[in-house]
Amino acid sequence: MSGSKCNVDPATPKSRTERLMKERNLRKLNRVFNLNEKAGDSLRDADLFSNDSALTETENFASLNEEELSEGIDGYERQDQRLPKQRLLVVANRLPVSAVRQGKDSWQLEISVGGLVSALLGLKEFDARWIGWAGVNVPDEIGQEALTKALAEKKCIPVFLDEDTVHQYYNGYCNNIIWPLFHYLGLPQEDRLSTTRSFQSQFDAYKKANQMFADVVHEHYEDGDVVWCHDYHLMFLPRCLKEKNSNIKVGWFLHTPFPSSEIHRMLPSRRDLLESVLAADLVGFHTYDYARHFVSACTRILGLEGTPEGVENQGKLTRVAAFPIGIDSDRFIRALELPQVQDHIKELKERFAGRKVMLGVDRLDMIKGIPQKILAFEEFLEENPEWRDKVVLLQIAVPTRTDVPEYQKLSSQVHEIVGRINGRFGTLTAVPIHHLDRSLDFHALCALYAVTDVALITSLRDGMNLVSYEFVACQASKKGVLILSEFAGAAQSLGAGALLVNPWNIAEVAASISQALNMPADEREKMHQHNFMHVTTHTSQEWAATFVSELNDTIIEAQLRTRQVPFLPVKVAVERYLQSNNRLLMLGFNATLTEPASTQGVRGGHIRELQSRLHLEIKETLKKLCDDRRTNIVILSGSDRAVLDDNFREYNLWLAAENGMFLRHSTGEWMTTMPENLNMDWVDSVKKEHLDLILSFVKLHLYGNTSMQRVILESFNQRICYSISGLVLFQTQLLMLSKVIDLLRFDLLV
Ligand SMILES: O=P(O)(O)OC[C@H]1O[C@H](O[C@H]2O[C@H](CO)[C@@H](O)[C@H](O)[C@H]2O)[C@H](O)[C@@H](O)[C@@H]1O
Ligand SMILES: O=c1ccn([C@@H]2O[C@H](COP(=O)(O)OP(=O)(O)O)[C@@H](O)[C@H]2O)c(=O)[nH]1
């Protein structure tokens, strides 16, 4: 198998949990080694972080990758128990460094700001290379060569996008269409109204850009590499990669929310994007809700089968799961000890002596709810005059995506509100809001986090929000309060240690500010402990290691499943079918008996995607099968009861809805398969003296939905199936059913 060196022998499938545990332990061990190594390096580390220039940060990124373990070890374990480093190609729109041209052939590299970059800087356990855009247009060859060389030192590989592509792909399709839509802010009005001329050209640029990323990946790919694609910019990438080389291990992770399918279906390119992502082996999201939304979009928009493991598409299972991201908490905790950070802390304490410090750190993005935050602060000052000269709000608003008109509008709006409030509540010597239109370097940021009494995060939607994690990591001595939007992914992990708010409810946020500023120390301490524990145990390293390990497992499992599906002896099957007098055919529904998704689009002016429909041409055949007294049919589906009721009302068969959770005969009532309530009467109706059983998993694709089948088999009584039948068929192609039925002189019209 051309997998990673970390892969375990595939001949031991039942040891998956064991192997995962072992890998986890080895990872931990590895970390201990790395930490020990780093203790000796701490001086060097301190030097790297001591300079305020962004470049030192990027050097640290390179140094993380220099801690390489020696190569050339075959197999899974080494004598010293360390795992060899997995080669990883991280592909994201933005490189961790942005390039600024200094001359014809010289470049300065600056750290890029944003949660994705912050999180991925912690990929210490991998031999990682980063492929992405350096944030700059480089039309000339000399410039491209020089930049490629400079980036190579940081293990970064550039994708050169020309100005028009950046405009249409990044500013247009990514940040003006997908970004607002995925954050529930709708589509920009012009795009909704126009017949999408600009939309179409932006979408074309998006596909073109994704293909350019794919080309660079192929150029640098080595057998066994894991390719990890990131974010909404690169939803086409998994497909582009697999089209050229189906053996590449591809994972895709979304850093933003994935919205409800009701929102996603607004996108004119809704199908293309979903189908392309499904080409990946593993698809990850920050939260379970986002993963669930994705699966239901695939079910409803593509008509595919959603299973507890993921989505099945033409026999291929794309695994879908939640992998909540974290931060490199040690890096923040260690930084607080550095003299220059201590100096910053001292300065800040003197500067704001006698006032409580409230802090907001956001890219200046409409999803961050900055106007809402400031308005809530205004309401708090209005209602609590005694606090007016005792509290200050420091708002760091990092400029971002400044070429997109929506972002320009937001900037003026925020400036206007801040000016008004400062004019209203400011004095000759102090203003209530300090608003900075710039980013801070790492040390200044750590110092700010450390002196903050209340962090205020009011995202209208946010994939995760790492600022909340970073604040917690720096609060070991202060134990300040976190006010956190319930619409940030982080609310699912830090919710119990934060004051959760709905940022749209200005009065509620204002009341929470008051509660936070007045909170007794013991309560603050309790909340902080909860959060601190989470932030220091769910790190970015753990996140990345879990994702990659799961990706490796997914691929091993797919290979095992391929091997386990027996070859169907069609001739024998047909003979047995003809000889048998009491048959059970178990048929899938979605993507098996339904109309192809492509024909379910718009019919009669109405979108018909939300409900799967039985294929017109299969109806007659199915009816004949159902009316054959020697044949019992069970329809197995992930769909809910109402969908099955609608489709199979007139047939004489059994229905298993919601992955086998509910069962009914078409003439009877629904019953639950929960063991305590399970009514097994139906088994008797198909169990006769000599039950010849053919289990026919009729799927258009190669493998049945095994989890669903398992549930049903267990309900049906496995013993009967296996001991009496003597023949269990894993039917794979509708073609086979047509042959069987043909011989029985049924007409099969498909
Ligand atoms: O690259 P930019 O266009 O300048 O934007 C910066 C990044 O913004 C988004 O970050 C997200 O990722 C974080 C880490 O997972 C998450 O905590 C946050 O909620 C997200 O908004 C975007 O998804 C990245 O691709 C951008 O690089
Ligand atoms: O002046 C700043 C402000 C923010 N950040 C970093 O930007 C990231 C913001 O990530 P988050 O997940 O909160 O939101 P995103 O910007 O990715 O949407 C965090 O790691 C911050 O440390 C930074 O480096 N400098």
Pocket test for ligand 2, best of 98, 398, 471 (most atoms within 8 A of CB): 398
Measured CA to CA, the distance from residue 205 to residue 407 in angstroms comes to: 21
Kindly give, in sequence order, each residue whose CB lies less than 8 Å from that of residue 624, ignoring residues fewer than 6 positions away. 746, 747
What is the number of the ligand closest to the CA of 474?
A: 2
Task: Record the tokens describing residue 10, joined without a space.
Answer: 């595939």
Task: Give the angle 107-111-116 at the CA atoms, nearest 5°.
Answer: 135
The residue-averaged pLDDT of 210-235 equals: 97
Is it the case that residue 655 has pLDDT exceeding 90? no
The full DSSP string for 104-140 is: TTEEEEEEPPSHHHHHHTT-TTEEEEEEEE-SS---S
Burial environment of residue 354 by CB neighbours within 10 A (0 to 12, 13 to 18, 19 or more)? exposed
For residue range 187-217, list pLDDT tens digits in order: 877 644 454 558 889 999 999 999 999 999 9
Measured CA to CA, the distance from residue 58 to residue 135 in angstroms comes to: 15
Nearest CA to ligand 1 atom 6: 114
Task: Record the tokens describing residue 525, joined without a space.
Answer: 């301490």
Pocket test for ligand 2, best of 55, 57, 332, 363 (most atoms within 8 A of CB): 363
Atom of ligand 2 lying closest to residue 327 CA: 20
For residue range 372-428, list pLDDT tens digits in order: 999 999 999 999 999 999 999 999 999 999 988 889 999 999 999 999 999 999 999
Ligand 1 center from residue 534 Cα (angstroms): 21
User: Across the beta sheet with 583-588, what order do the strands follow?
Assistant: 583-588, 631-636, 654-657, 662-665, 671-672
Pocket test for ligand 2, best of 361, 452, 461, 494 (most atoms within 8 A of CB): 361
663 and 600 in a single domain? The answer is yes
- Please give the pLDDT value at position 722: 27
- Please give the pLDDT value at position 624: 87
Q: Of 152-166, 195-209, 295-309, 562-576, which one has max mean pLDDT?
A: 152-166
What is the number of the ligand closest to the CA of 169?
A: 1
366 and 466 in a single domain? The answer is yes
558 within some domain: no
Residue pair 733/703 in contact (Cβ under 8 Å)? The answer is no
Diameter over CA atoms, the chain:
98
pLDDT band at 29; cut points 50, 70, 90: low
Residues forming beta bridges with residue 108, ordered by sequence position: 100
149 and 258 in a single domain? The answer is yes
The H-or-E segment that residue 228 falls in is strand 226-230
Closest CA to 210 of 163, 256, 170: 170
Last residue of a domain, one of 272, 291, 322: 322
Atom of ligand 2 lying closest to residue 440 CA: 1
Cβ < 6 Å from ligand 1: which residues? 94, 114-116, 119, 231, 255-256, 325, 400-401, 462-466
pLDDT band at 716; cut points 50, 70, 90: very low
For residue range 480-536, list pLDDT tens digits in order: 999 999 999 999 999 999 999 999 999 999 999 999 999 999 999 999 999 999 999
- Please give the pLDDT value at position 83: 60
379 and 412 in a single domain? The answer is yes
What is the Cα 716 distance to its own chain's centre? Answer: 36
Q: Beta 654-657 vs 97-103: how paired, if at all?
A: unpaired
Q: Of 254-268, 302-316, 626-640, which one has max mean pLDDT?
A: 254-268
User: What is the ipTM metric for this complex?
Assistant: 0.98
Higher pLDDT, 176 or 748: 176
Is it the case that residue 174 has pLDDT exceeding 70? yes
Higher pLDDT, 23 or 93: 93
358 and 306 in a single domain? The answer is no
Is it the case that residue 220 has pLDDT exceeding 80? yes
Is it the case that residue 264 has pLDDT exceeding 70? yes
168 and 65 in a single domain? The answer is yes
Last residue of a domain, one of 322, 353, 379: 322
The residue-averaged pLDDT of 103-131 equals: 86
229 within some domain: yes
Backbone angles phi, psi at 11, to 5 degrees: -75, 0
Cα dihedral 354→360→361→366 (10° resolution): -160
Q: What is the DSSP letter of 600?
A: G
Backbone angles phi, psi at 550, to 5 degrees: -65, -35
Nearest CA to ligand 2 atom 1: 439
Pocket test for ligand 1, best of 110, 116, 485 (most atoms within 8 A of CB): 116
The residue-averaged pLDDT of 622-631 equals: 86
Residue 311 one-letter amino acid? V
354 within some domain: yes
Measured CA to CA, the distance from residue 540 to residue 703 in angstroms comes to: 35
388 and 484 in a single domain? The answer is yes
Is it the case that residue 739 has pLDDT exceeding 60? no
Residue pair 641/661 in contact (Cβ under 8 Å)? The answer is no
Higher pLDDT, 126 or 42: 126
Q: How many Cβ atoms from other residues are within 10 Å of residue 469's Cβ?
A: 30
For residue range 123-173, list pLDDT tens digits in order: 778 899 999 999 999 999 999 999 999 999 999 999 999 999 999 999 999
Ligand 2 center from residue 171 Cα (angstroms): 20
What is the number of the ligand closest to the CA of 455?
A: 2
Higher pLDDT, 565 or 691: 565
87 within some domain: yes
- Please give the pLDDT value at position 62: 32
Last residue of a domain, one of 288, 322, 356: 322
Please report the beta strands in 38-193, taking only residues with DSSP state E, as ranges in sequence order: 86-94, 97-103, 106-111, 126-133, 156-158
Residue pair 188/406 in contact (Cβ under 8 Å)? The answer is yes
33 and 159 in a single domain? The answer is yes
347 and 292 in a single domain? The answer is no
Ligand 1 center from residue 251 Cα (angstroms): 18
pLDDT band at 60; cut points 50, 70, 90: very low
Atom of ligand 1 lying closest to residue 488 CA: 19
Is it the case that residue 268 has pLDDT exceeding 50? yes
- Please give the pLDDT value at position 561: 67
305 and 412 in a single domain? The answer is no
Atom of ligand 2 lying closest to residue 365 CA: 18
pLDDT band at 707; cut points 50, 70, 90: very low
What is the Cα 541 distance to its own chain's centre? Answer: 16
Least confident among 25-39, 222-236, 389-403, 538-552: 25-39
748 within some domain: no
Q: What is the DSSP letter of 488?
A: B
pLDDT band at 23; cut points 50, 70, 90: low
Closest CA to 242 of 544, 555, 493: 555
Ligand 2 center from residue 457 Cα (angstroms): 12
Ligand 1 center from residue 463 Cα (angstroms): 8
Mean pLDDT computed over every residue of the chain? 79
Residue pair 744/578 in contact (Cβ under 8 Å)? The answer is yes
675 within some domain: yes
Higher pLDDT, 357 or 573: 357
Cβ contacts of 515-521, under 8 Å, gap ≥ 24: 516/453, 516/454, 516/481, 516/483, 517/356, 517/387, 517/391, 517/453, 517/454, 519/481, 521/479
What is the number of the ligand closest to the CA of 439?
A: 2
29 and 174 in a single domain? The answer is yes
Q: Beta 106-111 vs 97-103: how paired, if at all?
A: antiparallel
Pocket test for ligand 1, best of 174, 256, 402 (most atoms within 8 A of CB): 256
For residue range 326-370, list pLDDT tens digits in order: 999 999 999 999 999 999 999 999 999 999 999 999 999 999 999
Cβ < 6 Å from ligand 2: which residues? 113-116, 118, 361, 363, 396, 398, 439-440, 445, 464-467, 470
Ligand 2 center from residue 117 Cα (angstroms): 8
- Please give the pLDDT value at position 304: 84
Residue 194 one-letter amino acid? S
Measured CA to CA, the distance from residue 592 to residue 635 in angstroms comes to: 10
CATH number of the domain residue 82 falls in? 3.40.50.2000
What is the Cα 507 distance to its own chain's centre? Answer: 33
Q: What length does the chain have?
A: 750
Q: Beta 126-133 vs 305-306: how paired, if at all?
A: unpaired
Domain residues for the domain of 700 are 565-743
What is the Cα 386 distance to its own chain's centre? Answer: 45
Region for residue 64 given its phi and psi (left: phi exceeds 0; alpha: psi -120 to 50; beta: otherwise): alpha
Q: How many Cβ atoms from other residues are within 10 Å of residue 601's Cβ?
A: 11
Kindly give, in sequence order, each residue whose CB lies less than 8 Å from that of residue 357, ignoring residues fewer than 6 positions away. 348, 391, 392, 394, 451, 452, 453, 454
Ligand 1 center from residue 538 Cα (angstroms): 19
N- to C-terminal Cα separation, the chain: 38
Ligand 1 center from residue 114 Cα (angstroms): 5
553 within some domain: no
Nearest CA to ligand 1 atom 1: 94
Residue pair 321/291 in contact (Cβ under 8 Å)? The answer is yes
Rounded alpha-carbon distances, angstroms, from residue 228 to 19, 503, 549: 22, 33, 12
pLDDT band at 446; cut points 50, 70, 90: very high
Atom of ligand 2 lying closest to residue 444 CA: 1
Q: How many domains does the chain have?
A: 3
Q: What is the DSSP letter of 616?
A: G
What is the number of the ligand closest to the CA of 493?
A: 1
- Please give the pLDDT value at position 102: 94
Q: Quote the pTM value.
A: 0.76
613 and 697 in a single domain? The answer is yes
- Please give the pLDDT value at position 95: 94
- Please give the pLDDT value at position 198: 81
pLDDT band at 725; cut points 50, 70, 90: very low
